[in-house]
Amino acid sequence: MYFQTLSTGIDYGDLEFETFGTITFTNSLALSADASSMVSLSGTTVVLKSTYLTDDIVLVSTNGNITQHSGNTISDGIKLRANNLDSEIYFNTVDSITFFPTASARDNNTDGNITLTSATIYRFKYGSTVSGITFTNNVYARVTVGGATLLVTTPIALGTNTIDFGVTGNLQTLNNNLRIVNTGVQKSSILVPHTTNI
């Protein structure tokens, strides 16, 4: 349809919607909301004019890198596979999450250089280091769920990963509340020795 109209516009009557299992580009891919033309080639990078890529396409892959420019957004349902992106973590029932380089840094709340709030996905290259945090084997994180803060170590693998704290978050909240109650009971049940004989 693009070549039919010679770049002057696409007749809406010609538009069709198709769901793809996979769409693959042989070069690097750049998605730009303000590209000057619908499709162009910049060196070895294919540039698509795109403001929003929706999850009608399940998997987008390239033999190079995938980059976004000028406000382009990609919906959560799309998996990206490229030299710079080959994995994702989906978050379910997570208010915010901060990644740390080690369990010790997480426990001491130091060097948490990546924080996501109101996010449902984080895309990354497995084994890469971003802001001092290496995404391989396990991720160490502080997760907030409904007012509770959880210190977690979550195993990750190449490809799709899910962090779900729906039940865990509720159980942790109950556990925190029970600990407060137990501390109160312990304090009130301390036996005070008497020094006066009766």
The H or E element containing residue 178 is: helix 166-188
Q: Does residue 198 lie in a domain region? A: no
Verify that 72 and 117 share a domain, yes or no: no
Q: Which residues pair with 108 in a beta bridge?
A: none
Quote the distance between the C-alpha of residue 71 and its chain's center.
18
Name the domain count of the chain.
Answer: 2
Verify that 57 and 133 share a domain, yes or no: no
Verify that 48 and 63 share a domain, yes or no: yes
- The confidence score (pLDDT) of residue 85 equals 95
Quote the pTM value.
Answer: 0.74
Domain range holding 105?
Answer: 87-182
Judged by phi (left if over 0) then psi (alpha if -120 to 50, else beta), residue 93 lies in: left
Using the predicted structure, report yes or no on whether residue 80 has a pLDDT greater than 90: yes
pLDDT averaged over every residue in the chain: 82
Verify that 74 and 98 share a domain, yes or no: no
Place of tokens 């892959």: 61
Place of tokens 């994702």: 88
Verify that 93 and 156 share a domain, yes or no: yes
- The confidence score (pLDDT) of residue 180 equals 58
Tokens describing residue 88: 């994702």
Listed residues 85, 103, 128: the one ending a domain: 85
- The confidence score (pLDDT) of residue 128 equals 96
Place of tokens 């312990």: 186
Using the predicted structure, report yes or no on whether residue 1 has a pLDDT greater than 50: no
Tokens describing residue 57: 């396409």
Contacts of range 147-153, beta carbons closer than 8 Å, 24 or more positions apart = 147/173, 148/172, 148/173, 148/176, 151/106, 151/107, 153/103
Verify that 105 and 165 share a domain, yes or no: yes
